[in-house]
């Protein structure tokens, strides 16, 4: 696996790239604009239009969205990203480009999704009998594969999402639970488009699973625990209704996605999407060496993340900011500091500085102030004052 990546990286860098090497993720994001793609494209169409995503690095503008997605890939523990904006602003295109940026992951060879790590954690009972047998014989039960984008269907029911009783096993006289979409998203990317149109119980299950990294399903006497370690990206079109504040608060970063307002950027975006529409394979290979560099950078950032610290003076600054903004939710500081750690490590540092908070602050802290909660506390205080004055008056 390592070797083949190495070779293709070398081959591709000789094909289309005469730019100097990229030193940081930030530089990669910044460099995206301003490359004229059209002039150097081969003419023939390789015919992979359905399977080759538009390259992340070819996306024009939308710096905040791209940065938020990169930070979520480096540090999936900050609650994912919610993209808020109208249709046609590139939300879905950018999400579909993300799998290419992520390092390969273990993939089960079995219908039930058993992995060697399940055996390490839970013993042989944690996998299906077939996999237990294979594992005992030394036959592999998983392989390494590229990250997949799991897109939640709009009509998904809770049973589809968390899993339920397996009819296939039931016809063989056995009772088993089958994995839901959340378990299949383990190690992958989960994209929930139009999250504001989903049933509340479904959204709750997704956000719980994303936050914990695992979830438990109980059906009658049966119960199963599944891994659900995925990068979560949600999107919504505010014209079609809002999320409840309690749900909105549970997403880590929120990005307001506007259309491009710079004329030159719009023209460049049009040129690139036109080039992609006529020959997606050529566009993908144009960016492939930078994409592999970015993938290596993200893996290195993930590896270095655990050692990144937030010094006390920076933490106090962040907490003072949150207090000034009257944000009650503890998720405000969790997301602010986790996003700042991801940003620091992307910048090659092992310590967060105040400037990191300034960069990630808007996406971590916006839209957390809940009028409902604010009204709730002020009403609560009114009631409390009334109660106390009544107590003073009547009980002396
Ligand atoms: Zn199995």
* pLDDT computed for residue 380 by the predictor: 78
- Average pLDDT over the chain, rounded to whole? 83
Q: Which residues of the chain have pLDDT under 50?
A: 1-20, 31-50
Output the CA torsion sign for 97, 16, 347, 33: negative
20-23 — which CB contacts under 8 Å span 24+ positions?
21/293, 22/290, 22/293, 22/294, 22/297
Residues with CB under 5 A from ligand 1 (ion): 110, 112, 114, 128, 131
Paired with 256 in beta bridges are 84
Which residues neighbour 184 within 8 Å (Cβ) at sequence distance 6 or greater? 113, 150
User: Would residue 331 show up in a list of annotated catalytic residues for this protein?
Assistant: yes
CA of 96 to the centre of ligand 1 (A): 29
CA of 379 to the centre of ligand 1 (A): 54
CA of 69 to the centre of ligand 1 (A): 32
* pLDDT computed for residue 325 by the predictor: 84
CA of 295 to the centre of ligand 1 (A): 30
* pLDDT computed for residue 26 by the predictor: 54
Per residue in 166-187, pLDDT tens? Answer: 777 667 776 677 788 998 899 8
CA of 109 to the centre of ligand 1 (A): 8
CA of 386 to the centre of ligand 1 (A): 62
Active-site residue among 254, 331, 341, 368? 331
CA of 43 to the centre of ligand 1 (A): 46
C-alpha span between 71 and 346 (Å, rounded): 8
* pLDDT computed for residue 23 by the predictor: 56
């Amino acid at each position: 696996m390592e070797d083949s990546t190495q070779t293709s990286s070398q081959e591709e860098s000789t094909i289309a790239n005469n730019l100097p090497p990229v030193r940081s993720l930030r530089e990669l994001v910044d460099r995206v604009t301003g490359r004229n793609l059209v002039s150097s494209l081969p003419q023939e169409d390789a015919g992979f239009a359905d399977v080759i995503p538009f390259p992340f690095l070819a996306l024009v503008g939308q710096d905040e969205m791209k940065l938020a997605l990169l930070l979520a890939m480096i540090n999936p523990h900050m609650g994912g990203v919610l993209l808020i904006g109208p249709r046609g602003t590139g939300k879905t295109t950018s999400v579909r480009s993300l799998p290419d940026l992520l390092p390969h992951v273990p993939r089960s060879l079995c219908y039930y999704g058993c992995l060697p790590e399940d055996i390490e954690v839970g013993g042989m009972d944690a996998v299906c009998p077939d996999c237990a047998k294979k594992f005992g014989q030394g036959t592999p039960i998983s392989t390494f594969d590229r990250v997949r984008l799991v897109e939640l269907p709009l009509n998904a029911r809770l049973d589809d999402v968390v899993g339920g009783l397996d009819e296939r096993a039931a016809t063989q006289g056995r009772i088993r639970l089958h994995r839901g979409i959340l378990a299949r998203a383990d190690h992958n990317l989960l994209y929930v488009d139009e999250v504001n149109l989903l049933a509340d119980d479904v959204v709750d299950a997704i956000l719980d699973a994303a936050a914990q990294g695992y979830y438990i399903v109980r059906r009658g006497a049966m119960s199963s625990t599944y891994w659900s370690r995925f990068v979560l990206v949600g999107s919504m079109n505010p014209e079609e209704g809002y999320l409840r504040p309690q749900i909105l608060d549970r997403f880590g970063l929120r990005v307001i996605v506007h259309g491009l307002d710079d004329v030159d950027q719009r023209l460049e975006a049009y040129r690139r999407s036109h080039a992609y529409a006529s020959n997606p394979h050529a566009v993908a290979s144009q960016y492939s060496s930078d994409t592999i560099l970015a993938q290596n950078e993200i893996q290195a950032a993930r590896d270095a993340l655990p050692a990144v610290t937030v010094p006390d003076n920076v933490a106090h600054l962040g907490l003072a900011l949150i207090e000034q903004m009257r944000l009650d939710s503890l998720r405000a500081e969790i997301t602010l500091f986790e996003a700042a750690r991801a940003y620091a490590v992307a910048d090659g540092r092992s310590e967060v500085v105040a400037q990191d908070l300034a960069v990630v602050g808007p996406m971590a802290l916006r839209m957390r102030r809940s009028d409902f909660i604010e009204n709730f506390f002020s009403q609560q205080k009114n009631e409390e004052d009334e109660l106390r004055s009544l107590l003073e008056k009547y009980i002396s």
